[in-house]
Structure formats: structure tokens, C-alpha cells
Amino acid sequence: AMKQQPRFNTFALAFLLVLSACQKSFDVPANTGTDNTSTQTSSDPNYAWELMTMTYPGLKDYEAGSFVIGTRAYVLDVQGHLWSLESGANSWVRKADLPFRNPPDPNGYFLLFYPIVFSVGDKGYVTCGHWSFQNIGIIDQGSSTTVWEYDASKDFWTVRADFAGTPRIMPVAVPGADFALVGLGISQKQPISTASEFLRYTPASDHWSTAPDCSKNIIQGTGFLSDGNSYLIGDEPVAGSTSGHDNRLFKFTSDNWQELASVGNARDWFTFATPYARKAFAVSTSDNASTLVSFDLSSGATARHSALPVAYSPGGTSFIFRLGGTLYLGDLLQKKIWTCKLG
């Protein structure tokens, strides 16, 4: 299996897009197994990762993304297969596939790399990324601006208004109560570069509009919604440093960004964050390893907890989400799942 790459290494991303397209594994989905926890894999007893006997039933593949609606989580892979897990359930349920356009060759298949996947209210959304149609080798490829909306109550996908910004891979979504901000990422216009712009999507009107940039120097991050407020952990490279980052916590209110605090340290790249018990729990990934940390939403005071059993980086071979007070971490290649109780 290929190692996960740092999120914003442009050369590594280009290599990963080509190599991952050549390393697809089309295993028949396994049965959904049963739910039981076993061996602890963390040295921190308060935030121990436990390996489940329930396995991930989908294909051995790369993640497109995951989202949560209510008490149910959804995992989407690059081939558009969608699997769902209800909180407390002991098995996964296969849901409707992402409806890519009809392939010009019935023996071929579409792949979608590095989109952004998020939820607003009771709907899930997928947009941006790099698509390719393949049979033997790559037949066609390009940037995606299509927006797909998933209605969990009907298990049905609908195409909505196209993403109105610069085509990009690996953007960030900052969810709101009735909107989402989509921005940052790597522009697919030549020459390839990081993108700083944000756009606001309002599902009720199916409309994209411009939104203020967070900071011209923020190049990536992760967003989350807590108590009706929208937050972004933004990563800014330290000038003159090849590996240092300044991680800053922002809050989006009244159509403006408010910088709250610095979080983490110079080695952190935050790739996931979720609120729980008046804190934000985040995953920091660097050097193909990930650590669970938490911080206060007001002061930014950070506590480091436990190492993840496998590294997490969006678009890699693992997924992560929270249901209630439990984090779920999955490895799509090994089909293993770990859980971590928060607080």
C-alpha cells in the first residue's frame, strides 16, 4: 500500500493522483461483521483507541470523504460508493452510489480524488476534486465543479448549482447552521497554486456567493460547527521555515472572520476537527503519523492526548468521524476500525 503524503506537497499530490489510479483494488465487499471492542492501542488511558471486531465492508480504496447527519455517519470512497453506520449499530449499510455521469465505455469507471465532503442540516454535499474516467489506463480526466446533494431520508443524490469558484482539489468546508463556506485548497488553474478565496453556499436557495477570505497566508485547514458557530483551524507556514506552521483558530460571525487564538505547535497540520463537551478535538498529521489533541474554543489552550493507530489525511486510505462521544477511525485498505471515547 502506498504511504499517505503531506497534504500540500504539490508534487506528491500529482504523483498520488497517477499512482493511486493505477493501484485500485476491486475486492468484493465483505460482510458487515459484528460490533465488539478489543485491544487498546494507545498509551493514554483517557483517550485509548480500541480495535473493533466490526470491519469496514467497502472496497479497498481511497477516501473521498465522510459526513455525519444526525446519529448516522457516511463514508464515501473515490469510486462513489457510500456506506453508512448508525450510532450504536453493529453493521454498515450500503447506500446509493454517487451518480457520476454515464461512462462512455461500459467497461470503464469514474474516480473522484480530493473533493470536499460535508453536511449542512440534514443533507450531505460533495464538490470540487479531480475526476478521471478509466478503463485500461486513464482515458479522460479533469477538474470537477459539480455539486451533489445527498438526501438521507430518500437515499437519493441530486445535482445542485455548480461550485462557483476556481476549480480546486482538497478544499476546506466550514459548515454553518444553514450554509457552508468552501475555500482554500489547491487551484487546478495553471500554474497550480494554493487558493485563498472562500465562497458561501446556501442550500435553501441553491446559490453560491462570495465570502470574505480568512487570511491571504492561510493555505489549508479544517472547519467545524459548534453551538451554532462556525470555526476554522487555519494553517499558515512560518516565513523562512521549511516545516513550521502557525495554526490559528478563527470564528465566522456577521459575515466576517474573527481570529480567536493560536493552537497547537509549529509541527501540527490539522486535518480534522470536531466539537464535543465545549472543546474542539482535532487530528494533527505530520510525517505519516497522527495525534489526537483538544483545545479550548476561547483560549486556544491545547492538550495532546494519544497517537492514532493509523495516520489520517483527507483523500488518503483512512477515514474519521464522530458519533456522539465516540471517534471512529477506519483504514480502508486493512478494513480495520478503531474507536476512541472522548472525555
Average confidence (pLDDT) per 10 residues, the chain, 343 residues: 33 38 32 34 73 92 93 95 94 93 68 95 96 78 94 97 94 96 89 85 98 83 94 82 77 91 85 94 89 88 92 91 96 94 87
Contact 297, 260 (CB under 8 A): yes
For residue 225 the three cell numbers come to 460547527
First to last CA, the chain: 34
Total-model pTM = 0.85
Each residue's pLDDT tens digit, 110-160: 889 999 999 999 999 999 999 988 877 667 888 999 999 999 999 999 999
CA dist 134 and 17 (Å) reads: 13
Which residue do the cell numbers 458561501 mark? 200
pLDDT for 287 equals 79
Each residue's pLDDT tens digit, 236-255: 877 666 666 788 899 998 88
pLDDT for 239 equals 67
